[in-house]
Structure 1
Amino acid sequence: MSARTEPIHARSLLVDCMTVSLAALVLACEPADAPGDPGALIDVVMTSRVGVVLDEFPAGTRDRAAELFLAKPLAFWEARARRQTRMTNYRLAFRQFFHDDKLQLPLPPDAGLHYEFAAGGARRDSVDGHDVVVIDYTLTGTLLGDVASIPASEPALVDVGGTWEEPFVLPLDPEYLRQRTGYACVDEEDFPPDSSDEENIAEFFDHECDVEVAPDYACHLSEPRPTESCVDALHHHVGAVDTVVRFERRAWDPQRADEVRLGEVTTPDAPDLAVVGDVIGSSARLVYRYIAPDSCTMREGCVGGSGWRRLLQFDASVQNVGGADLHLGEVDYYGDGLDSELAARNIYEYSDCHRHYHFRFYGDFMYASDEHAEGFKQSFCLQTTSRAGNHEKSPLNTPYGSCDYQGIAAGWGDDYIAGLDCQWVDVTDVAVPGPAVTAPLVFTSNPDRFLCEGAPVLDDAGALRYEPTDLRTETGAAIERPMCEFSSGWDGNNVGERPVELPAVGSYVTAACDREQEGPLRNCGFAEQTAAITCNAGETVELGCTIPAGAAPMAVRVCPVSAVLGVPLACTYVHALGNGVVADGAMATVRFTCPAPLAADEPGGEVSLFTAPLLRSDPGVEVACMPL
């Protein structure tokens, strides 16, 4: 088939998940009668402040930058506060791994969080020695859930009036955290290396991450390893905010419950998976990544070939909008000898490359341009990671918090974030007639009916029954499927799609900014200035860069060039070969190492310059760079 009609596919890997004592978890989550109130209400409050760090702006531009942010409407600050708030999610969703005897205690869903800002508005200030524009705010919300799950989540909230405070140290400025602090605040434990990037760092944020040395790595897997703790890194590079999330159990109030109830319940007595359509494509971003021929990414079929690939990354999320758990159960995830019926039926298949089991039937992705482009089966762990519903059917905790015991609890969701290895569609060979093409990115969950969205079929002894399928493993073994009496219309909400524009060249670095980002650390709004500059592979190069007199400051980024693709690879700040800021009246030195050969057909020795004005409202000018 031609490049235009060849199927474009993504096969996402299992996220390496954290483990927990299954026996302890099941006992802690044992359902109990909840006499009296039909549900529970827990008020949530967090006082904080959020800001914009101005340190990277040259002195002559910093006052203008401050004025720009001081004039921002409250909608800008609310979006920034929500980004900061998301940095509590990791520790609350996986709280069982941070407390010996407590389970999850999430915030209300995002739609149930409300922000009130200080009457004085934003102000310019100094925090930890950083020049910032900052605003104070108070977050409020109310959890609505069942009564029975409270003791296992937080015993202090069992009685009306009981309170609990969960401490956090958050970045004052939630943007550019990876650019400023590296991996210092990234908790990668049991995730594949390099899962966290500049855009998704909020999903891995853990303020307790410390400096670690081999072999006692806990938080950190990726290189370069941090040389300072998260808290120290925040103080030194961003500004730190010490705060608490305060939970308080309030008396049952039917009117209040009606006000805070969120999320539909489609099938009161059965699970029902729904693709979150707003998530598909909303975070889609193009990146360039070099794929080694012997990598797991190649062996798992996540890309169409080795070498430099152009990948469309995206978030994907499914929610259980039914009133019962979607249960899979015990999985011999790491192949440590546990008896797993799901593996015995070949529903899960062990990967020697990743050293864990893969669930092959989670969903299909495709990017369909002029010709229909089909996706392949996904390899996912079915894990409960976020509480999407705020209602009496949605418990505050779930037994499905690790890949050793899998399922999605009622009212909860399973989220896969852009940046995880193989969480993409390889669009390297997609033909783009003209400057860009727009096509739907489509996600279909449970296409092969391996997840029972209805009532499981049991034998006389109460054991789950299985049926044969025509599907086979990679070794040719037969795959059996759990039998299920699917609910009427079960698949009506199993497909989500969103149009995504695919430009002929470039990455998300050359796309328009969507969060009003400013400054040299941003990964948007850059433009290619030079197609190729030759240099001696492996040598250190210094460029002296200037701009015309009177011009506004410009950011300069040095990126590699791919000989095979024939294009400069618009790179992010972290992955750039070199970065610099060029101001009026001074020469800036930009230092980088000339790219070494990666393969016979990628000999290195070429770079390209990408530039952008520090403030997007300023006109861009050409940056003149000469070897020193």
Structure 2
Amino acid sequence: MVMSGVKCTGTEMALSQCQHHKTVSCQKAAAKFAAGVICSETASDLVLNASLVQQTVYIEDRPLHMLYCAAEENCLSKSAAKANWPYGHRRLLRFSSEIHNIGRADFKPKAGRHSWVWHACHGHTHTYDLLSVKCLISLNKTRLKTGHNKSFCIKSDIQPHEGVSKRYECANFGDQGITVGCWDQYRHDIDCQWIDITDVRPGNYIMQVVINPNHEVAESDFTNNAMKCNCKYDGHRIWFHNCHIGDALSEEAERIFEKYPGQLNNRIS
């Protein structure tokens, strides 16, 4: 152990610039809280396709009898546990997401195959928790609803350009990842690719999606991992407007964004 009591703000250029104890503490009790560091000249960089979210969003009233697998994976709001199963339905805000790797290294799951978990109901393997988190936030910054994706198969590795060779294919328990210059795609009709808005009241909201939210896999840039949209919900229909990556607008534009524009140009029903 070379450093202890390390606290970083994220702006430091080296670990030595972080706050830390002057002397190294090697207490046995602290061993389980220790962390290792691997330095690399290259890293992946994930960016969500914001325009695809805006183009594909819609509301679905899905019957409860079709949501048993999703309920097992905690993909519904807490109130679903009190519903009259299998009768009734849940109102889901659905959309497709496309995660591009624009970095200089492939994006790979943090854990090896030995830790992948098989989910029998859905018939797929989870590689790691929380590839993305989806939040519906009120204009006073109160988080109302949260949805999430567990990475069950980074399978798409779609080739956008000639000369880019994809390296990953999850079929038959193959290797999983996103090659540099390729992307992974979660279609709107996949279980858990939604936010359960059954209990959400009509109003104006901000919808936010964050990929790799816990920074569990190294990236060269985390500032472009969040995407936000204006959202207006009237109880029957939903409008999305101004979907953009978190660092795509200036601070002044962000303040205007949060005041919610009076004119919306994308109505979804």
TM-score in same-fold range (> 0.5): yes
1:327 deviation in Å? 2.6
Residue number among 121, 127, 135 corresponding to 1:366 in the alignment: 135
Residues 280 and 497, structure 1, Cα contact 8 Å, conserved in 2: no
Cα–Cα, structure 1 residues 279 and 294, in superposed 2: closer, same or farther, change >3 Å? closer
Q: Work out the CA distance in 1 between the residues paired with 2:238 and 2:211.
A: 28
Residue number among 113, 121, 125 corresponding to 1:353 in the alignment: 121
Residues 145 and 195, structure 2, Cα contact 8 Å, conserved in 1: no
Is residue 50 of structure 2 the alignment partner of residue 282 of structure 1? no
Q: Which has the higher contact order (CA 8 A, sep 6+)?
A: 2
Q: Work out the CA distance in 2 between the residues paired with 1:402 and 1:293.
A: 26
Which residue in 2 is equivalent to 1:416?
186
What residue identity is the alignment partner of 1:418? H
1:382 deviation in Å? 2.3
Which residue in 2 is equivalent to 1:295?
68
Q: Deviations over 1:201-221 (max 9, x none)?
A: xxxxxxxxxxxxxxxxxxxxx
Residue number among 418, 425, 430 corresponding to 2:195 in the alignment: 425
Residues 268 and 322, structure 1, Cα contact 8 Å, conserved in 2: no
Bigger radius of gyration among the two:
1
Residues 134 and 209, structure 2, Cα contact 8 Å, conserved in 1: yes
**Overall identity of the aligned pairs, in %:** 23
What residue identity is the alignment partner of 2:155? Q
Which residue in 2 is equivalent to 1:387?
159
Q: Work out the CA distance in 2 between the residues paired with 1:320 and 1:402.
A: 17
Q: Deviations over 1:13-69 (max 9, x none)?
A: xxxxxxxxxxxxxxxxxxxxxxxxxxxxxxxxxxxxxxxxxxxxxxxxxxxxxxxxx
Residues 58 and 95, structure 2, Cα contact 8 Å, conserved in 1: yes
Q: Which runs of 5+ in 1 are unaligned?
A: 1-266, 332-339, 454-486, 516-522, 525-628
What residue identity is the alignment partner of 2:211? S
Q: Work out the CA distance in 2 between the residues paired with 1:376 and 1:418.
A: 13
- 1:187-206 aligned at under 5 Å gives the runs none
Q: Deviations over 1:307-326 (max 9, x none)?
A: 31111101112110012211
Aligned residue for 1:292, secondary structure, equals helix
- Count of residues in correspondence between the two structures: 192
Q: Work out the CA distance in 1 between the residues paired with 2:53 and 2:122.
A: 26
Q: Work out the CA distance in 2 between the residues paired with 1:377 and 1:429.
A: 17
Q: Work out the CA distance in 1 between the residues paired with 2:170 and 2:214.
A: 23
Cα–Cα, structure 1 residues 268 and 500, in superposed 2: closer, same or farther, change >3 Å? farther
Aligned residue for 2:146, secondary structure, equals coil
Residues 275 and 319, structure 1, Cα contact 8 Å, conserved in 2: yes
Following TM superposition, where does structure 1 have runs of at least 4 consecutive aligned residues deviating by more than 6 angstroms?
A: 512-515
- 1:29-48 aligned at under 5 Å gives the runs none
Is residue 204 of structure 2 the alignment partner of residue 400 of structure 1? no
- 1:130-279 aligned at under 5 Å gives the runs 269-279=42-52
Which residue in 2 is equivalent to 1:98?
none
Residues 281 and 497, structure 1, Cα contact 8 Å, conserved in 2: no
Q: Which runs of 5+ in 2 are unaligned?
A: 1-39, 240-263
1:444 deviation in Å? 0.5
1:410 deviation in Å? 0.4
Residues 47 and 101, structure 2, Cα contact 8 Å, conserved in 1: yes
Q: Provide the alpha-carbon RMSD of the alignment.
A: 3.2
Q: Work out the CA distance in 2 between the residues paired with 1:408 and 1:271.
A: 9
Q: Deviations over 1:564-612 (max 9, x none)?
A: xxxxxxxxxxxxxxxxxxxxxxxxxxxxxxxxxxxxxxxxxxxxxxxxx
Aligned residue for 2:130, secondary structure, equals coil
Q: Work out the CA distance in 2 between the residues paired with 1:283 and 1:294.
A: 21
Cα–Cα, structure 1 residues 513 and 274, in superposed 2: closer, same or farther, change >3 Å? closer
Residues 443 and 496, structure 1, Cα contact 8 Å, conserved in 2: yes
Residues 362 and 379, structure 1, Cα contact 8 Å, conserved in 2: yes
Q: Work out the CA distance in 1 between the residues paired with 2:90 and 2:211.
A: 26
Q: Work out the CA distance in 1 between the residues paired with 2:148 and 2:93.
A: 17
What residue identity is the alignment partner of 1:445? I
- 1:585-624 aligned at under 5 Å gives the runs none
1:301 deviation in Å? 1.7
Q: Deviations over 1:299-345 (max 9, x none)?
A: 122223153111110111211001221133996xxxxxxxx23x1xx
Aligned residue for 2:74, secondary structure, equals coil
1:400 deviation in Å? 1.2
1:277 deviation in Å? 2.2
1:449 deviation in Å? 2.1
Residue number among 317, 328, 339 corresponding to 2:109 in the alignment: 328
Q: Deviations over 1:233-256 (max 9, x none)?
A: xxxxxxxxxxxxxxxxxxxxxxxx
Which residue in 2 is equivalent to 1:447?
213
Residues 46 and 99, structure 2, Cα contact 8 Å, conserved in 1: yes
Residues 311 and 425, structure 1, Cα contact 8 Å, conserved in 2: yes
